[in-house]
Amino acid sequence: MTDKNGIYLSVDGDDAVRVIVGNGTKIQTDRIKVSDELIGELEYDMSNYEIVLEHIIEETEPLDDIGAYSEEQFTAVSDTALELADGVRENDLTTGVLLRATIHKLLDFEDDGTAMCLMTMMNAIVEALREPLDTRYILYKYLKSRSEFDTHEEWLRTNILPEGYFFRRDYPCEIINYDLFTNEPKLSQVFFFDNYTDYFVFLFLKFAEQQRRVLECPCCGKLFVPKSNRAEIYCDRVLVDGKTCKQIAPKLARKLKQRNDPLFEEYEKAKNRNYKRVERYENANGNSSVMRLTFNEYKAWLDKANEIKRLYLQGLVTAKELRNIIEELN
């Protein structure tokens, strides 16, 4: 195993072990669950990241009408990009390491100092930074759609296989002479990643192999993978005061039924309406006639809206506050 910047990964069913190389250090992390890593990644709020990225894109504009670029401008863009990657790393180690590895690889390219080269490099950096945003939406879309199908096969056939091109990537692997899980001598396979999309799409494929279900928790609105085949409705996330959705939700659901409040119906409608807007925007490929609502803006809204809905059910916020959040993106 060489020490390139990135993530070395060994997988066994839903278990995985990683060696993370970055910023001059090499760490072997605890065992992770493929399903947790995948679903957990979609939980991070990247709306701030999106704002910084827009700022970086502005910085890549040419300095005059004939398309001049300066070395200083290029340095500022690449420095901000690396800072952004390190900022992400504080909360989301995986994404931070992968972003930095990708940017480093781009910067290793021979820079001949011409305007053309500077422009190409800056565009490549912007593309690399944009990737997590696009990929998160696509993975969310696939995982969320699983609950629309009764069987794994039906889901694969209808939603996943027709999009095969998205999964056709290089997943470089090497054979090493010890087991990453046990450290015992053994010939074992290790995959290497220095790109966000490759890593998470690989995890998605490993997850799909397990043929498990994905549900949307009606209490917190987040995706989860049921632990067993029992009829699980709610997730195990700790929602408030150390209590999980599973513990709190039945009581809240009873209240919801008793109150028969039209606001809840409006809330559900807003959720669907806004998600449809995301689909239109994300599929429009920058077509400016489509109203903007990015996946990350939607996710940030959804998490906040769910929280307010719960507080309203518990009598802790007013109807006006719930209405405000329902209408916030209109």
Nearer to Zn ion, 179 or 216 (CB): 216
Nearer to Zn ion, 234 or 295 (CB): 234
Q: How far is the CB of 159 from Zn ion (least distance, A)?
A: 23
Binding mask 197-236 for Zn ion (x = CB under 5 A): --------------------x-xx--------------x-
How far apart are the C-alpha atoms of 125 and 99, rounded to whole Å?
10
What single-letter DSSP state applies at residue 161?
Answer: G
Beta bridge partners of residue 28, listed in sequence order: 19
Cβ-contact 88, 48 below 8 angstroms: no
What CA–CA distance (Å, rounded) separates 310 from 252?
8
When the beta carbons of 225 and 245 are compared against Zn ion, the nearer one is: 245
| Listed ranges 7-15, 35-43, 180-188, 241-249: which one lies at the site for Zn ion (CB under 5 A) | 241-249
293 contacts Zn ion (rule: CB under 5 A): no
Which residue type, as a one-letter code, is found at position 271? K
Binding-site residue total for Zn ion (CB under 5 A)? 6
- Given the complex with Zn ion, which of 86 and 307 has the nearer CB atom? 307
62 vs 226, beta carbon nearer Zn ion: 226
Cβ–Cβ < 8 Å for 190, 176: yes
Q: How far apart are CA 274 and CA 139, in angstroms?
A: 18
- Which span sits near Zn ion by CB under 5 A: 31-39, 55-63, 240-248, 304-312? 240-248
CA dist 79 and 72 (Å) reads 10
As a whole number of Å, the CA-based R_g of the chain is: 22
* Shortest Å distance, C-beta 246 to Zn ion: 8
In the complex, what is the shortest distance from the CB of residue 199 to Zn ion, in angstroms, rounded to a whole number? 26
User: Segment contacting Zn ion (CB under 5 A): 2-10, 136-144, 181-189, 243-251?
Assistant: 243-251
CB of 152 to Zn ion, least distance (A): 22
For helices 115-145 and 34-41, the axis angle rounded to 10 degrees is: 110
Nearest distance, CB of residue 58 and Zn ion, angstroms: 38
Cβ at position 41, least distance to Zn ion in Å: 17
How many C-alpha atoms does 279 have within 13 Å on its Cβ side? 11
The four Cα atoms 190, 194, 195, 201 give a dihedral, to 10 degrees, of: 10
Sites of contact with Zn ion (CB under 5 A) = 217, 219-220, 235, 237, 245
